[in-house]
């Protein structure tokens, strides 16, 4: 079975985002960018499926600027077999991403499409669900365990009240949650090998998808600053103060 994995280039999770002076967005000039952490988990899961003999080929897909090639090379260094970059300098919204991914799925005919549950830049948590709807495939979102058999996949989902297990007919869309696995680091020899793995470059137009924005960002602001704390001299004073705040009795 072929597995497709969607990987997005986003601001690195260790970087504190700086909001642009005019409040129009986050300043990405000279900021470290990396693969969205949930997508690293998606790549890792695809590799584990191949190690179990379930997946035969892993194709990583990204939609973004030319620099997203680096993100795809990371996926290739981790173990993906080939990559597709749909190159655009536009900021592409989840619906347009899902439409492009759906076209690629129709061309590639994978057994499974694995995405992250959300991209940490815009926190949309929408693309996987939209992709499943466009394809008419079943979806297992927020996966913390994935067990694939011949024609189905069992996905354990992290839901508010605990864990929900669903069995999906393949082909299916799966989105990853944090606890699914711990992604491997790419070794130096694999980083070298990844340089010669195939990476095809396409454009949104090749898939007949219009990526013009439909959503308007009105304003982006920094979270309000936390107030400074105070030091207390003793546990008794701490308890008194907590009582004063109505936190302790």
Place of tokens 């030091």: 231
Please, where are the H alpha helices in 113-225? 127-135, 188-194
Contact with ligand AMP (CB under 6 A) among 12, 57, 108, 122: 122
Q: Which is nearer to ligand AMP, 39 or 44 (CB)?
A: 39
Q: Does 140 bind ligand AMP (CB under 6 A)?
A: no
Q: Which is nearer to ligand AMP, 25 or 239 (CB)?
A: 25
Of 108, 124, 127, whose CA–CA distance to 56 is shortest?
Answer: 108
Q: Does 174 bind ligand AMP (CB under 6 A)?
A: no
Least Å distance, CB 248 to ligand AMP, is 39
Terminal-residue alpha carbon distance, the chain: 60
Q: Does 125 bind ligand AMP (CB under 6 A)?
A: yes
Please, are residues 246 and 123 in contact by the beta-carbon 8 Å criterion? no
Q: Does 38 bind ligand AMP (CB under 6 A)?
A: yes
Note every long-range contact of 217-225, with CB atoms under 8 Å and residues 24 or more positions apart, other chains counting.
217/24, 217/25, 219/23, 220/19, 220/20, 220/23, 220/24, 220/25, 220/26, 221/19, 221/23, 222/19
Q: Which is nearer to ligand AMP, 126 or 178 (CB)?
A: 126
Contact with ligand AMP (CB under 6 A) among 39, 44, 81, 177: 39
Q: Which residues are within 8 A (CB) of 162 and not within 5 positions of it... i.e. 6 or more apart?
A: none
Report how many residues bind ligand AMP under the rule CB under 6 A.
Answer: 23
Q: Which is nearer to ligand AMP, 54 or 104 (CB)?
A: 104
Contact with ligand AMP (CB under 6 A) among 3, 11, 45, 62: 62
Extract the tokens encoding 200: 């095809």
Q: Which is nearer to ligand AMP, 43 or 148 (CB)?
A: 43
Which residue minimizes CB distance to ligand AMP?
Answer: 116
Contact with ligand AMP (CB under 6 A) among 7, 46, 59, 168: 7
Please, are residues 159 and 142 in contact by the beta-carbon 8 Å criterion? yes
Q: What pairs with residue 152 in β-bridges?
A: 169
Residue 205 phi/psi, 5-degree rounding, is -60, -35
Contact footprint for ligand AMP (CB under 6 A): 6-8, 36, 38-39, 42, 62-64, 92, 94, 97, 115-116, 118-119, 122, 124-128
């Amino acid at each position: 079975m072929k597995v497709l994995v969607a990987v997005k280039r986003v601001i690195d999770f260790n970087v504190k985002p700086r909001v642009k002076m005019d409040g129009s967005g986050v300043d990405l000039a000279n900021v470290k960018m990396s693969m969205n952490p949930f997508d690293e988990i998606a790549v890792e899961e695809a590799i584990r499926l191949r190690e179990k003999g379930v997946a035969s080929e892993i194709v990583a897909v990204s939609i973004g600027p030319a620099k997203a090639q680096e993100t795809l090379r990371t996926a290739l260094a981790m173990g993906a077999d080939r990559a597709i970059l749909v190159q655009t300098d536009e900021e592409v919204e989840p619906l347009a991403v899902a439409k492009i991914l759906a076209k690629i799925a129709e061309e590639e005919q994978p057994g499974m499409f694995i995405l992250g549950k959300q991209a940490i830049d815009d926190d949309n948590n929408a693309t996987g669900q939209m992709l499943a709807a466009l394809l008419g495939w079943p979806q297992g979102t927020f996966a913390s365990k994935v067990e694939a058999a011949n024609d189905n996949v069992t996905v354990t989902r992290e839901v508010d009240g605990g864990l929900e297990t669903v069995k999906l007919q393949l082909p299916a869309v799966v989105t990853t949650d944090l606890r699914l696995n711990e992604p491997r680091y790419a070794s130096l020899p694999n980083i070298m090998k990844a340089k010669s793995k195939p990476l095809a470059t396409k454009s949104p137009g090749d898939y007949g998808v219009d990526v013009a924005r439909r959503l308007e960002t009105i304003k982006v602001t920094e979270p309000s600053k936390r107030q400074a704390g105070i030091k207390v001299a003793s546990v008794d004073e701490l308890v008194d103060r907590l009582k004063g705040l109505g936190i302790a009795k």
